[in-house]
Amino acid sequence: MFNKLSVSKYYTDCIDEKGNVFIGYIGVVTWHMFHLDYANYLFYDASKDKMQSDYSVNKRAFPEWAPPQLRWRHEDLAIVGEWQSVHEPIEKTLFEDPESSMKWMCQQPLSAARVRVDKVILDGLGYTERLDLEINPLNLPFDTIRWGRFNAPDTSWVWIEWQGKFPQKFVYVNGEKYENVDISDDLVVVHDIEMALQLTEKLELRKGSLLDTVFKKLHWLTQFLPLKMLSAFECKWRSKGIVTHKKDSKEIVNGWAIHEIAIWK
């Protein structure tokens, strides 16, 4: 019987009309006798083309989820955020077997968001989710994950693709699930409704191994956590999203997307 790696984490984001981006994480990781509380964020200022980030390893409260509202305050990182739901939550068990489980709760596929980072305020559309997993880090059900979300007024797309031992892929469009789909870093196609989401003007928000990005100043974690998890490669983008009819490419709606690929070797 192995010691499971246990993780509970929240993900929150917000993009305003100008393309300014906030992405925030807070979570708890347990492995053997090791326990880590962490939080970090990315903020992209589109007017200055400037990225900033910070992290904390102090224990702080998870976001308060009281439907239809999620609130998060993190004193160490000077973050205060509020997300008001527009679309209903999505809940799915992504994987479960006798030794592992991964449960995904997308509280807000689409929300009206207001986030303050220090003295900067973003008002825009946002997304929030929670992931709870217990897993053997040496026997992952995937080796590559693609994830993304697209928001426009009254429109939400969320997609997940796993490649590896337990392949799966699906897209939620305005809360409806579709599995007859194609997913890449530039295009998401939902065949049943003959719609496509084109991802253009891609801006790299973060790229590299987790040790070189999220945990850049925390290399001591390699003494306690599996190197395979920490050395995973990740690339995260902010892109312009354009929903079109698949046949004639006629635009239906446009907005902003955040999407990523993560690879475990």
pLDDT band at 1 (very low <50, low <70, confident <90, very high): very low
Over residues 111-116, mean pLDDT? 98
Q: Which segments of 139-180 are extended strands (E)?
A: 144-152, 155-163, 168-173, 176-178
Q: pLDDT tens digits for 199-213?
A: 999 999 999 887 777
Tell me: pLDDT of 86 over 90. yes
Tokens of 88: 């209903």
How much is the pLDDT for 213? 74
**Can you tell me which residue has the tokens 């690879």?**
263
- Is residue 223 classed as helix, strand or coil in its secondary structure? helix
User: Mean pLDDT: which of 108-112, 207-211, 214-218, 245-249 is highest?
Assistant: 108-112
Q: pLDDT tens digits for 42-54?
A: 999 999 999 999 9
Query: CA-to-CA distance for 94 and 82, rounded, in angstroms?
Result: 27
Q: pLDDT tens digits for 215-244?
A: 777 767 777 777 777 778 999 999 999 999
If one compares 214 and 105, the residue with the highest pLDDT of the two is 105
Tell me: pLDDT of 3 over 80. no
- Is residue 207 classed as helix, strand or coil in its secondary structure? strand
Over residues 28-54, mean pLDDT? 93
Q: What is the signed CA dihedral for 3, 166, 204, 171, rounded to 10 degrees?
A: -130
Over residues 122-128, mean pLDDT? 98
Over residues 102-127, mean pLDDT? 97
Tell me: pLDDT of 246 over 50. yes
* CA–CA–CA angle 103, 134, 31 (5° rounding): 145
pTM of the model: 0.94
Tokens of 105: 């709760």
| Ranges 101-105, 107-111, 219-223: which has the least confidence | 219-223
Please state, as a whole number, how many other Cβ atoms lie within 10 Å of the Cβ of residue 50.
Answer: 9
Over residues 3-20, mean pLDDT? 94
- Using the 8-state DSSP alphabet, how is residue 137 labeled? T
Q: Given the DSSP bridges, would you call strands 79-85 and 50-56 parallel, antiparallel or unpaired?
A: unpaired
Question: Cβ distance 234 to 240 under 8 Å?
Answer: no
